[in-house]
């Protein structure tokens, strides 16, 4: 018997496995499922030809449990009490044979010596074919096995999803530390530039009475060029949005992927404005962290 598990708005990995076997009388149906990452829902079903009639219904049930991923479903069916074939007697065809034999005997003056064993050999009198399956009973078992496999499949996805959530939140917290370091370092760069500029001018002109407005103008232009205040605000906002989405759960893979793209855009801009080794190192570490996050997001449904 398959256990049925409750489903909540949890993060789900796109990697999962589920199996369920249902037996009733001499019938047994087994369903196995496994999945890997995929941008959309791509389902491949392998099952005996006699069950092909249920393919559409199977796909409808799968959509209740899965929204993304490449899913392979394997269905096996055994009926230990069913004979492979059944013999059928066509009385109408047999009657027509006998009618024509009698007619031929009268027309040609021949004795009609047909026996039952002879009649049975003629085409279509006796036929061998597959027994008719009880589709309602088979579907009853198949649906139980399918839903049981889906529940276990979802359970493994949710379990791995929890691990992904914890890993991603840890990576996002590390990125917040890097953003804070960039924010803290930025004003120091401007102050250091002003001091270097002042020292350089004094060295070249030998004049300590430098016009303050000229220095201020130059420093202002430099500060505007390297300013990453907007990028820092947006980066922090994107990181917090992603953390909130992870806490909320549900089918958030596509949303997280979009946020990660925006984060990468801001990190690239920050790196391009960097005019300091420490700030550049922080921006590079930030881009590396974002790339790791994007790789993990590809596993989320």
How far apart (Å, rounded) are the C-alpha atoms in residues 193 and 221? 11
Question: In this predicted model, what pLDDT tens digit does every residue of 155-182 receive, in sequence order?
Answer: 999 999 999 999 999 999 999 999 988 8
How far apart (Å, rounded) are the C-alpha atoms in residues 32 and 19? 4
Q: What six digits make up the tokens of 76?
A: 């096996």
- What percent of the chain has a predicted confidence (pLDDT) above 70? 79
Sort strands 16-24 and 27-36 into parallel, antiparallel or unpaired.
antiparallel
Question: In this predicted model, what pLDDT tens digit does every residue of 86-126 receive, in sequence order?
Answer: 678 888 888 888 888 888 888 888 888 888 888 888 888 87
179 within 8 A of 34, measured Cβ to Cβ: no
For the chain, the farthest-separated pair of C-alpha atoms sits apart, in whole angstroms, at 145
How far apart (Å, rounded) are the C-alpha atoms in residues 71 and 289? 30
Choice among 7-21, 77-91, 229-243 with the minimum mean pLDDT: 77-91
The whole-number average pLDDT for the span 42-46 is 95
Whole-prediction pTM: 0.66
First to last CA, the chain: 28
DSSP state of 122: S
Domains of the chain listed by start with CATH number: 16-81+134-156 (3.30.230), 86-129 (no CATH), 159-297 (1.20.140)
């Amino acid at each position: 018997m398959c256990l049925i598990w409750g489903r909540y708005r949890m993060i789900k990995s796109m990697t999962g496995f589920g199996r369920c076997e249902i037996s009733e009388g001499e019938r047994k149906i087994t369903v196995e499922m496994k999945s890997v990452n995929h941008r959309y829902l791509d389902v491949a079903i392998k099952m005996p030809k006699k069950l092909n009639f249920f393919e559409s219904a199977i796909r409808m049930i799968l959509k209740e449990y899965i929204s993304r991923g490449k899913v392979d479903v394997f269905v096996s069916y055994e009926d230990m009490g069913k004979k492979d074939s059944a013999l059928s007697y066509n009385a109408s065809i047999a009657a027509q044979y006998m009618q024509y034999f009698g007619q031929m005997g009268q027309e040609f003056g021949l004795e009609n010596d047909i026996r039952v064993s002879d009649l049975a050999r003629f085409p279509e009198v006796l036929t061998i074919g597959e027994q008719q399956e009880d589709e309602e009973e088979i579907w009853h078992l198949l649906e139980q096995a399918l839903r049981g496999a889906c529940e276990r499949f979802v359970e493994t996805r949710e379990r791995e999803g929890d691990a992904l959530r914890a890993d991603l939140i840890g990576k996002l917290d590390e990125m917040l530390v890097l953003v804070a370091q960039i924010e803290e370092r930025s004003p120091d760069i401007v102050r250091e530039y002003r001091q270097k500029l002042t020292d350089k001018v004094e060295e070249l002109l030998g004049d300590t009475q430098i016009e303050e407005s000229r220095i201020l103008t130059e420093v202002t232009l430099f500060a505007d060029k390297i300013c990453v205040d907007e990028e820092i605000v947006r980066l922090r906002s994107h990181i917090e949005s992603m953390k909130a989405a992870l806490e909320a759960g549900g089918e958030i893979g596509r949303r997280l992927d979009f946020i990660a793209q925006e984060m990468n855009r801001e990190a690239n801009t920050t790196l391009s404005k960097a005019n300091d080794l420490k700030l550049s190192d922080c921006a590079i570490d930030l881009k590396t962290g974002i790339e790791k996050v994007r790789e993990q997001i590809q596993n989320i449904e």
